[in-house]
Structure 1
Amino acid sequence: MVHRDDLVPESVPSPSAAPLPGGAGRIAIISAGVGAGHDGAAAGLAERLAEHGYLVDRHDFLELLPIGTGRLLCGVYHRMLTWMPDGYQRLYAATDRTARPGVLWRALFRAAEQRTLRALAPDTRGVVSTYPGASQVLGALRRRGKLTVPAFTYLTDFSVHALWVAPGIDAHLAVHPVPAAQAHVQGAAGATVVGPVTDARFAPAGAGQRTAARERFALPADAPLALLVAGSWGVGPVRRAAVEIRETGVAVPVVVCGRNESLAEELRGDGIAHVFGWVDDMPGLMHACDVLVQNAGGLTSLEAFAAGLPVASYRCIPGHGRTNADALDEAGLAAWIRDPADLGPVLAELLHGPRGRAQRAVGLDLHRLAPGPATAIAARTRPHAAPDAHLAESRFAGRRRLASSAVTVAATACLGVVAPLAYAYNEAPARFSAVTPYLDGDGR
């Protein structure tokens, strides 16, 4: 994800839209500032809920972890993707194999429980997570009766890692039948297809918008343009992908580097003519381009579907980048190009052939046909629900928090340093493919 200038404020007042069944109330959304995709999904969801009369509180899960642990974990994750991609792939695979988080993860999540409860306003009627760690905390609180209102997980990925599925969560909301089926296979409660949430500005280019956008971004007027994105961090083999797109002769690469300014400079040094850093007007840039090439399968892909762009996954980052590419390919939404020799032919098909037209239609239908997550959330948040979102802390809570902080520091060190080495030679898990009941309408 490479833009997010429209984040919803901490508390969003209700506009004049009529509330959904279930009535207006207060909903808390817990995301995480890991890249920008989880926050972007939270922002879109907050906007939809506010349109229907809800007050929305936004919280960052990283801030709910004690003594700076969240930011430390985020930094470790970033460095592993950048410097140790193979180690991250093995860690991702190892944590995806078991139905229950390991002891270190459980200690880390337990340390966030009291802060999470204290962050919720007394009149909160439901809590939505857009980040796996937050889902684990909310599920544990629901199981032990400490959280007395419904808890939801909004699955922001097309593939469902085991940490996304938390016992105790009332409903797991998915953007498509493929992730809904994967979540169901892993035992998720209430796995439901609700569709994506994206900014309304992401729509197919109208008459004259394509020409105007190309002029605004100083892009070639007539050449086919491939928009290459790599998330807000600009991670992965982006330079190689940009050069390879250029060498196909099929399309001119237009690269967005997010916050990675050094990557932008390196690309310019490689002779890539159209390089951008952080882009505020991503809808406009998508209007200017003809195909999206991505490496992570996050929110930017959903935005491209809404904008009517065909999407290809190429040189994907480890972990969720590869599993998302597999799931998107299975869904018929994005071609996964595994062999560099196929890059030119597949881009040509997406730009000019029936494959591209088919993907555009499927991507647009993904946004047009699903009701959206606000409906599912409203159905489970009753106006007469008990407003107390959390129970009082005991007199020993301070001691428990101090002990949890010490455990968390140790867990963080182990997760960031020891775990990648311990999992260095573990095999990757098999992926799930149980889509048929959802395509037939029987999986809800």
Structure 2
Amino acid sequence: MPHSDSPTRITVISASMGAGHDGAATELTRHLTEAGFLVDRHDFLDLLPARIGKLLSGAYLRLLTWAPAGYQRIYAATEHERRPNPAVRALLRGAERRTLATVTPDTRAVVSTYPGASQVLGALRLRGRLAIPALTYLTDFSVHSLWVAPGIDAHLAAHAIPAAQAHEQGAAGVTVTGPMTDPRFTPADEDERRAARTRFGLPPDTPLALLVAGSWGVGPVREAAAEILGTGVALPVVVCGRNHALAERLRADGIAHVHGWVDDMPGLMHACDVLVQNAGGLTSLEALAGGLPVVSYRCIPGHGQTNAAALDEAGLAPWIREPDRLAPTLTELLHGPRGRAQREAGLALFTAAPGPVPAVTTMARGPLSATAIPSQRRPVAARPAVAFDVSGLPTRVPADALGGVPSDAPRSVPVEAPRLPVAARFAARSRQARRRTVLMVAAVAATLSLGIGAPLAYAYGESPGHHFGALTHYLEDDDR
């Protein structure tokens, strides 16, 4: 509980881009409220100027649906950028006034579960306009550079792998807190399993693979469902979220068990034997909390693939990259020791650390300062990562959790590579500058028309955006 007689107020800012960021914010709000805090929730999309937030959300969905290759290209081009491009910075700058207005005078900390909000909060902290701690709760298992915002006081991670990625990108106050999920996501006994199958009209004894694709139902879901069915190892149970058209197509394909939006996801997980996912978001953590083995398959571009790689590296979910590995991997998870090991690893994730609330509590109880914090990113060795043990006390992250290198260990000085001739260096820099200029112009144009980049649609003839083919071809051609 907070020290004062009146409850301490904390602001949580999320974004309705799918359901993952909001889901994390919902659980954070619930846990903080149970701990005695007053919590204000805000949607960052509502804080953007000119009602552009919903435009961006719709454009992001269209980009994932129409132009997955374009999204992958944008994601890869920006994955390790040290700061957002000028178009993105200009857009985020427009949200600063409304974001600052969400912080009432009695608020003692603000927590973001969305990278755009983190960038705005960090900028406000750097300029001294925000005098309370700003924290980012990393909802992904992999960390795009946009998540790492200069000025943010602490970056909270569910696992040591995203913590290490954030740490290596210069994030401040990296803390391994463990994840949060709804408490209804727990392992089911046999009676609960049978009751859940009866409730959802599922066969009582057939192995069931729960196939999910987020609240938007994006990605090659039909292909994945058909391939799971074709293995003969498990029967697919598909959740399409709010994508009603996808549900109809799956039923037409002969998939017997298809659901739209499901309110009782804990119950449906109790009914199933393995989760097949394509984005690595909140649903994966919910399955792990419920003792369900998880596998990544036919992942969406960008964060879907980087999250799958991180979950695989953590030993929490194998990433199946080739269809011929689907049947043997499902068999191992359903009937072999690999499945038992992954269940144990998933459950251990929730007992190894108490979640982000102790870290937020510590920051909210600390002294306030209106002084602007340094604008440059801290050197990696200057801001050691910490974790919270089960008692809520801060501890150092073990060296092996951060790639085997202690955070305060001296770094070796890289040896300078042989320099190219002046003409070659000039040509290379010119190509890079032209590509960045084209990306910036495309981002601005997309923002003004459809949002974050939907017009960069499939240059390979797989979408209606053929008139942008020349631009995408230009971006793909590394030998110009």
In structure 1, C-alpha distance between the alignment counterparts of 2:280 and 2:170, rounded to whole Å = 23
Aligned to 1:168: 151
Find the aligned partners of 1:23 and 1:365 in 2 and give their Cα distance.
36
SS at 2:84 equivalent: coil
- Hey, what does 1:218 align to over in structure 2? 201
Task: Specify the code of the residue in structure 2 equivalent to 1:413.
Answer: L
| Contact 1:256-1:277 at 8 Å conserved across structures | yes
Q: Cα distance, 1:68 vs. partner? A: 1.4
Aligned to 1:392: none
User: What corresponds to 1:416 in structure 2?
Assistant: 453
Cα–Cα, structure 1 residues 383 and 135, in superposed 2: closer, same or farther, change >3 Å?
closer
**CA distance in 2: counterparts of 1:234 and 1:378, whole angstroms:** 36
1:355/1:409 Cα in 2 relative to 1: closer, same or farther (>3 Å)? same
Q: Compute the TM-score of the two structures, normalised by the length of structure 2.
A: 0.78
- The within-5 A match list for 1:330-349 is 330-349=313-332
Equivalent in 352, 367, 371 of residue 350 of structure 2:
367
Letter in 2 for 1:216: R
| Cα deviation, residue 425, structure 1 | 5.8
Q: Does 1:123 align with 2:106?
A: yes
Indicate yes or no: 2:133 matched with 1:153.
Answer: no
Q: Structure 2 CA distance, aligned partners of 1:136 and 1:174?
A: 17
Structure-1 residue corresponding to 2:174: 191
Question: Which residue does the alignment assign to 1:242?
Answer: 225
What letter is aligned with 1:416? G
CA offsets 1:265-320 (integer angstroms, 9 cap, x no match): 10000000000000000000000000000000000000000000000000000110
Q: Does 1:200 align with 2:183?
A: yes
Preserved contact between residue 108 and residue 411 of structure 1 (Cα < 8 Å): no
| CA contact 1:153–1:171 (8 Å) conserved in 2 | yes
Q: Which has the larger radius of gyration?
A: 2
Counterpart in 2 of 1:274? 257
- 5 Å-filtered alignment, 1:86-105, equals 86-105=69-88
* Change in 2 beyond 3 A, CA 1:424/1:50: farther
Report the Cα offset of residue 244 of structure 1.
Answer: 0.2
- The amino acid that maps onto 1:34 is M
Pick one of 110, 115, 137 that aligns with 1:132: 115
Structure 1: gaps (5+ residues): 1-17, 388-407, 428-444
Q: Is the 8 A contact 1:69 1:409 kept in 2?
A: no
Alignment of 1:11-90 (within 5 A): 18-19=1-2, 24-90=7-73
Secondary structure of the structure 2 residue equivalent to 1:222 = coil
TM alignment of 1:371-382, pairs within 5 A: 371-382=354-365
RMSD: 2.2
**Residues 224 and 290, structure 1, Cα contact 8 Å, conserved in 2:** yes
Instruction: Tell me by how many angstroms 1:419 deviates.
Output: 6.4
For residue 209 of structure 2, give the secondary structure of its aligned residue in structure 1: strand
Q: Aligned-pair distance for 1:382?
A: 1.9
Distance 2:81 2:181 in 1: 32
For residues 284 and 380 of structure 1, what CA distance do their matches in structure 2 show? 36
Higher relative contact order (CA 8 A, sep 6+): 1
After superposing the two structures, state which structure 1 stretch, 192-201 or 375-384, moved more: 375-384
Q: Tell me the secondary structure at the aligned position of residue 236 of structure 2.
A: strand
Q: Gaps (5+ residues) in structure 2?
A: 371-442, 458-467
Please report the TM-score for the alignment, with normalisation by the length of structure 1: 0.85
Matched, 1:325 2:308: yes
Give 1:391's aligned residue: none
Q: Percent identity?
A: 68
- Residue type matched to 2:226 in 1? V
What letter corresponds to residue 174 of structure 2 in structure 1?
Answer: A
Look up the SS of the partner of 1:204 in the other structure.
coil
